[in-house]
Protein backbone atom coordinates (compact mmCIF):
# COMPACT_ATOMS: atom_id res chain seq x y z
CA UNK A 1 0.00 0.00 0.00
CA UNK A 2 3.03 2.25 -0.13
CA UNK A 3 2.01 3.42 -3.61
CA UNK A 4 -1.34 4.69 -2.40
CA UNK A 5 0.23 6.51 0.53
CA UNK A 6 2.74 8.28 -1.71
CA UNK A 7 0.10 9.43 -4.16
CA UNK A 8 1.06 6.94 -6.87
CA UNK A 9 -1.51 4.53 -8.19
CA UNK A 10 -4.95 4.94 -9.64
CA UNK A 11 -6.13 7.49 -7.12
CA UNK A 12 -2.81 9.32 -7.28
CA UNK A 13 -2.92 9.45 -11.11
CA UNK A 14 -6.40 10.97 -11.06
CA UNK A 15 -5.32 13.57 -8.49
CA UNK A 16 -2.19 14.30 -10.50
CA UNK A 17 -4.17 14.70 -13.72
CA UNK A 18 -6.59 17.08 -12.04
CA UNK A 19 -3.76 19.23 -10.76
CA UNK A 20 -2.16 19.72 -14.22
CA UNK A 21 -2.41 23.05 -15.95
CA UNK A 22 -5.07 23.62 -18.61
CA UNK A 23 -4.10 22.30 -22.02
CA UNK A 24 -2.02 19.48 -20.57
CA UNK A 25 -2.07 16.43 -22.86
CA UNK A 26 -0.94 13.22 -21.13
CA UNK A 27 -0.53 11.60 -24.55
CA UNK A 28 1.67 14.28 -26.07
CA UNK A 29 4.34 12.63 -28.18
CA UNK A 30 2.30 9.48 -28.58
CA UNK A 31 1.17 9.17 -32.16
CA UNK A 32 -2.35 8.13 -32.92
CA UNK A 33 -2.94 7.17 -36.52
CA UNK A 34 -5.17 9.32 -38.62
CA UNK A 35 -8.67 8.03 -39.04
CA UNK A 36 -8.09 6.89 -42.64
CA UNK A 37 -4.79 5.18 -41.94
CA UNK A 38 -6.27 3.36 -38.96
CA UNK A 39 -9.14 2.01 -41.00
CA UNK A 40 -6.86 1.12 -43.90
CA UNK A 41 -4.57 -0.83 -41.55
CA UNK A 42 -7.57 -2.52 -39.94
CA UNK A 43 -8.80 -3.53 -43.40
CA UNK A 44 -5.40 -4.98 -44.23
CA UNK A 45 -5.32 -6.95 -40.98
CA UNK A 46 -8.82 -8.32 -41.62
CA UNK A 47 -7.93 -9.15 -45.22
CA UNK A 48 -4.88 -11.08 -44.05
CA UNK A 49 -6.90 -12.97 -41.47
CA UNK A 50 -9.55 -13.83 -44.07
CA UNK A 51 -6.84 -15.09 -46.44
CA UNK A 52 -5.55 -17.31 -43.65
CA UNK A 53 -9.03 -18.71 -42.93
CA UNK A 54 -9.63 -19.27 -46.64
CA UNK A 55 -6.35 -21.19 -46.94
CA UNK A 56 -7.22 -23.31 -43.93
CA UNK A 57 -10.66 -24.06 -45.35
CA UNK A 58 -9.12 -24.85 -48.76
CA UNK A 59 -6.84 -27.39 -47.13
CA UNK A 60 -9.73 -29.04 -45.27
CA UNK A 61 -11.77 -29.31 -48.48
CA UNK A 62 -8.81 -30.72 -50.42
CA UNK A 63 -8.17 -33.36 -47.76
CA UNK A 64 -11.84 -34.36 -47.71
CA UNK A 65 -11.82 -34.62 -51.49
CA UNK A 66 -8.68 -36.78 -51.30
CA UNK A 67 -10.45 -39.14 -48.90
CA UNK A 68 -13.38 -39.32 -51.32
CA UNK A 69 -11.03 -40.13 -54.21
CA UNK A 70 -9.41 -42.90 -52.17
CA UNK A 71 -12.81 -44.35 -51.28
CA UNK A 72 -14.05 -44.28 -54.86
CA UNK A 73 -10.75 -45.79 -56.02
CA UNK A 74 -11.21 -48.71 -53.61
CA UNK A 75 -14.69 -49.26 -55.02
CA UNK A 76 -13.37 -49.05 -58.59
CA UNK A 77 -10.59 -51.58 -57.86
CA UNK A 78 -13.11 -54.02 -56.39
CA UNK A 79 -15.40 -53.56 -59.40
CA UNK A 80 -12.49 -54.28 -61.77
CA UNK A 81 -11.57 -57.43 -59.86
CA UNK A 82 -15.19 -58.60 -59.72
CA UNK A 83 -15.59 -57.98 -63.46
CA UNK A 84 -12.42 -59.99 -64.19
CA UNK A 85 -13.61 -62.88 -62.01
CA UNK A 86 -16.90 -62.91 -63.91
CA UNK A 87 -15.04 -62.94 -67.23
CA UNK A 88 -12.80 -65.78 -66.10
CA UNK A 89 -15.82 -67.76 -64.91
CA UNK A 90 -17.56 -67.13 -68.22
CA UNK A 91 -14.48 -68.20 -70.19
CA UNK A 92 -14.18 -71.38 -68.10
CA UNK A 93 -17.86 -72.14 -68.59
CA UNK A 94 -17.58 -71.62 -72.35
CA UNK A 95 -14.54 -73.85 -72.51
CA UNK A 96 -16.23 -76.52 -70.44
CA UNK A 97 -19.42 -76.32 -72.57
CA UNK A 98 -17.41 -76.89 -75.73
CA UNK A 99 -15.82 -79.95 -74.16
CA UNK A 100 -12.29 -78.50 -74.08
CA UNK A 101 -9.92 -79.42 -71.29
CA UNK A 102 -8.56 -76.59 -69.12
CA UNK A 103 -5.00 -77.27 -70.21
CA UNK A 104 -2.52 -75.80 -72.62
CA UNK A 105 -3.53 -72.67 -74.54
CA UNK A 106 -6.90 -72.27 -72.81
CA UNK A 107 -5.19 -72.29 -69.43
CA UNK A 108 -2.65 -69.75 -70.73
CA UNK A 109 -5.50 -67.50 -71.90
CA UNK A 110 -7.18 -67.71 -68.49
CA UNK A 111 -3.92 -66.91 -66.71
CA UNK A 112 -3.22 -63.97 -69.02
CA UNK A 113 -6.73 -62.62 -68.51
CA UNK A 114 -6.39 -62.93 -64.73
CA UNK A 115 -3.03 -61.12 -64.85
CA UNK A 116 -4.49 -58.39 -67.05
CA UNK A 117 -7.34 -57.92 -64.60
CA UNK A 118 -4.96 -57.55 -61.69
CA UNK A 119 -2.82 -55.05 -63.66
CA UNK A 120 -5.94 -52.98 -64.37
CA UNK A 121 -6.90 -53.04 -60.69
CA UNK A 122 -3.39 -52.03 -59.60
CA UNK A 123 -3.30 -49.24 -62.18
CA UNK A 124 -6.64 -47.90 -60.92
CA UNK A 125 -5.40 -48.02 -57.33
CA UNK A 126 -2.15 -46.25 -58.24
CA UNK A 127 -4.03 -43.57 -60.22
CA UNK A 128 -6.35 -43.01 -57.26
CA UNK A 129 -3.44 -42.62 -54.87
CA UNK A 130 -1.77 -40.12 -57.20
CA UNK A 131 -5.02 -38.10 -57.50
CA UNK A 132 -5.49 -38.11 -53.72
CA UNK A 133 -1.90 -37.03 -53.13
CA UNK A 134 -2.29 -34.25 -55.68
CA UNK A 135 -5.38 -32.99 -53.83
CA UNK A 136 -3.53 -33.05 -50.53
CA UNK A 137 -0.64 -31.07 -52.03
CA UNK A 138 -3.11 -28.52 -53.38
CA UNK A 139 -4.54 -28.28 -49.88
CA UNK A 140 -1.12 -27.64 -48.40
CA UNK A 141 -0.49 -24.99 -51.06
CA UNK A 142 -3.82 -23.33 -50.22
CA UNK A 143 -2.88 -23.28 -46.54
CA UNK A 144 0.55 -21.81 -47.36
CA UNK A 145 -1.06 -19.12 -49.51
CA UNK A 146 -3.41 -18.31 -46.66
CA UNK A 147 -0.50 -18.02 -44.26
CA UNK A 148 1.30 -15.76 -46.74
CA UNK A 149 -1.85 -13.64 -47.05
CA UNK A 150 -2.00 -13.29 -43.28
CA UNK A 151 1.63 -12.20 -43.10
CA UNK A 152 1.08 -9.81 -46.01
CA UNK A 153 -2.00 -8.29 -44.36
CA UNK A 154 -0.23 -7.77 -41.05
CA UNK A 155 2.86 -6.37 -42.74
CA UNK A 156 0.82 -4.02 -44.92
CA UNK A 157 -1.12 -2.81 -41.91
CA UNK A 158 2.04 -2.14 -39.93
CA UNK A 159 3.60 -0.34 -42.90
CA UNK A 160 0.47 1.77 -43.29
CA UNK A 161 0.58 2.79 -39.63
CA UNK A 162 4.34 3.46 -39.76
CA UNK A 163 3.97 5.48 -42.95
CA UNK A 164 1.20 7.52 -41.35
CA UNK A 165 3.40 8.20 -38.30
CA UNK A 166 6.26 9.24 -40.59
CA UNK A 167 3.93 11.60 -42.48
CA UNK A 168 2.64 13.08 -39.22
CA UNK A 169 6.21 13.58 -37.98
CA UNK A 170 7.24 15.34 -41.19
CA UNK A 171 4.23 17.64 -40.98
CA UNK A 172 5.13 18.47 -37.39
CA UNK A 173 1.91 17.04 -36.05
CA UNK A 174 3.83 14.96 -33.50
CA UNK A 175 7.20 15.40 -31.85
DSSP string covering 109-150: HHHHHHHHHHHHHHHHHHHHHHHHHHHHHHHHHHHHHHHHHH
Q: What is the pTM of this model?
A: 0.62
CA–centroid distance for 108 within its chain: 52
Residue 168 lies in a domain: no
User: Residue 29: inside a domain, yes or no?
Assistant: no
Summarised one tens digit per residue, pLDDT across range 87-124 is 888 877 877 777 766 666 777 777 888 888 889 999 99
CA 148 to chain centre: 11
Residue 15 lies in a domain: no
| 134 located within any domain | yes
Q: Is position 5 within any domain?
A: no
Q: What is the spatial distance between Cα 35 and Cα 41, in angstroms, rounded to a whole number?
A: 10
> Tell me, what's the pLDDT at 16?
52
Domain range for 101 is 52-146
Mean pLDDT for the chain?
80
Amino acid sequence: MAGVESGIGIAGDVRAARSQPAGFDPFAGVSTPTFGAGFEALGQFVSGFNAFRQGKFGKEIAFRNAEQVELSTRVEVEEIRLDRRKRLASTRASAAASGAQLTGSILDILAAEAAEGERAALLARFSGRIAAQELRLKGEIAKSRGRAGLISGITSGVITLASDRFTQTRRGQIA
